[in-house]
Amino acid sequence: MINSEKTREYFPSLNRVNESNQQIIYLDGPGGTQVPIQVIEAISKYYLRSNANTHGEFITSKETDSIMDNLRFKVAAMLGAKSPNSISIGQNMTTLNYSLARALSKKFKEGDEVIVTELDHEANRGPWMILKEVGVKIIEVKLMQNGTLDYSDFKNKINEKTVMVCMGMSSNALGTLNNFIKVKEYLKGRECFFLLDAVHYAPHFSIDVEKLGCDFMLCSAYKFYGPHISFLYSRPGVLESLDPDRLVVQDQEAPYIIETGTLNHASCAGVSAAIDFISTLGEGESYREKLESAYLHISDHEFNLAKYLYESLDGFDKTTVIGPDFSTRERTPTVSFVHSDHSPQEVCASLAKHNICAWDGHFYALKAIQELGLESKGGVTRLGISLYNTKNEIDTVVEAIKAI
């Protein structure tokens, strides 16, 4: 079980108060979580002691090498990847996805089809649009008005021309948990790349890339209590079969082949500390077991709070929650709603006066918000729950919403 009061003690930024002495209530985890002190200390320690570039013979360079190796090992453990060589590091998910799309644009041919979804963040749609330049057709799976993907449409769109399916594991805008397992079954027996965007999933649930059978997966550490840095998992052997844009002087093998320039070493030290932090919330023998157990605790805590929030908003006549309900666990703890009398921006501005951090708009999941007919209304107000949020905070937020 997560003791959120105790866990909060590790997050100094949650102590911030406004001029009326109201403590910050941070509900923008889907935009980026706060970081525990262990992460801040790991980053400071890097600059205080080990700041250097990689592959030198001197002490700080060797320490930087081991920070990078250690990070790949930890991300591999977190994603269930067999080898740290499956983990490439990048500035953010969008940049990594563009690099991958550019590499695949040299492999795919005219008439090939790549499937994306209307529910996805633009970071898992925009990069694939560049494939149109080489004659690849981009096929879009429909979003239904209840905020879930249309799986019969999905199935119908997969055919012998499909060379890749790119989908999110969950929606950062609506909290929908997508049925990626079912989609993987649709792909059985086909030669087709399967890419999963885990950016909004990785903060809430444990991942096993081996079980999922995906070729690529992307996630961003700043959504799971780390600094701004991201990862691409690729199935062993796949990255070497591609031709990513790169310098002749860089390592030409996976996972380095798609990593351009000097990486953010201090942030890499911070991400290892973030994953260590998550692991301390679980029990088990191995590092992976601790992470898996921690995620069970995290998702239980977050689901219960989010369900409580959902029910409070559902019972209020001026708010309508957009997206799936909480009758099943097919949900992330991200609750988006519209208010009958106020725009999402007005709602967020009003909440901000109480030091409540909530975001409004489309959150870059523009297509989904357009398809739901909400773009002209300013999108939705999003309340994203993280492991440090408490029931008291939810009560305060609901009260503030009702008072607008």
DSSP string, 75-112: HHHHHT-S-GGGEEEES-HHHHHHHHHHHHHTT--TT-
For residue 168, give every residue at least 6 positions away whose Cβ sits within 8 Å of its Cβ, in sequence order, or none. Answer: 117, 119, 120, 121, 124, 178, 196, 197, 199, 200, 201
Residue number with CB closer to ligand PLP (358 or 398):
358
Tell how strand 230-234 and strand 87-90 pair up. antiparallel
Q: Which of residues 50-109 bind ligand PLP (CB under 6 A)?
A: 92-94
DSSP label at residue 29: G
As measured in angstroms, the least distance from the Cβ of 144 to ligand PLP is: 19
As measured in angstroms, the least distance from the Cβ of 220 to ligand PLP is: 4
Number of residues that bind ligand PLP (CB under 6 A): 15
For residue 22, give every residue at least 6 positions away whose Cβ sits within 8 Å of its Cβ, in sequence order, or none. Answer: 354, 355
Residue 367 binds ligand PLP, judged by CB under 6 A: no
Among 230, 272, 312, 350, binds ligand PLP (CB under 6 A): 230
Site string for ligand PLP, 13-52 (x = CB under 6 A): -----------------x----------------------
Number of other CB atoms surrounding residue 145 within 10 Å:
9
Q: Which of residues 149-178 bind ligand PLP (CB under 6 A)?
A: 168, 172
Stretch that binds ligand PLP, among 19-27, 106-114, 195-203, 313-321 (CB under 6 A): 195-203
Residue 389 binds ligand PLP, judged by CB under 6 A: no
Residue with tokens 């149109």: 132
Among 74, 102, 121, 307, binds ligand PLP (CB under 6 A): 121
DSSP string, 4-18: HHHHHTT-GGGG-B-
Residue 362 binds ligand PLP, judged by CB under 6 A: no
Residue number with CB closer to ligand PLP (123 or 398):
123
CA dihedral sign of residues 146, 149, 155, 156 = positive
Residue 200 binds ligand PLP, judged by CB under 6 A: yes
Distance CA 110, CA 122 (A): 23
Report the candidate in 365, 396, 402, 398 with the shortest Cα–Cα distance to residue 380: 365
Q: Which of residues 248-287 bind ligand PLP (CB under 6 A)?
A: none
Catalog residues that contact ligand PLP under the rule CB under 6 A: 30, 92-94, 121, 123-124, 168, 172, 197, 199-200, 220, 230, 364
